[in-house]
Structure 1
């Protein structure tokens, strides 16, 4: 996903959940099934996108992503929630519901 695309997505009114990850990151692989689960729980409330920090260094730098996975929730271009590390789907669902 190109950086321009990324800006368009996070600046939309629709909640956008972003998983900053990397191929070499073990915990990031753990997040994959969690995000699948989350997707089935939230339906259309938010879109979920994955950003590979090695392929999109500008996006990672723009949001000072120091470690992966870093999870962020965007609403109208603003980061409304952010956390690093593996987070369970039910918790992420709660966060999305609070901002929906």
Structure 2
């Protein structure tokens, strides 16, 4: 499975069930370009347990504003539609695996 592109209009539906991780990013953001391959690798390993999305903050400003996202990359973790964790900045695959494992039933 691939990391899904989500938008302001699809975000709620895309993150409504199960454990989801949304990567808020922008094309001009260097740390975002470092984070993206990590998220893609996790998607390949954790497919079926976690749904991975990404949102371009420049093209979709409403959702980042709603969640108070001021810096990118920001990774927003939701479980059954409720925010359970927010992390800012680059994080390794190991760090993210540890974080996500606590929310998987």
TM-score (norm 1): 0.92
Are positions 1:54 and 2:58 aligned together? yes
> Alpha carbon RMSD of aligned pairs, Å?
1.1
CA distance in 2, matches of 1:86, 1:71: 9
Question: Which structure 1 residue ranges, 4+ long, deviate > 4 Å from structure 2?
Answer: none
TM-score (norm 2): 0.88
CA distance in 2, matches of 1:27, 1:18: 15
> Which residue of the partner structure matches residue 12 of structure 2?
7
SS in 2 for 1:4: coil
Q: How many residues align?
A: 99
Q: 5+ residue gaps in structure 2?
A: 1-5
Q: 5+ residue gaps in structure 1?
A: none
- The answer to whether the 8 A contact 1:34-1:88 is kept is yes
C-alpha displacement of 1:4: 2.4
SS in 2 for 1:59: helix
| Higher helix residue share | 1
C-alpha displacement of 1:85: 0.4
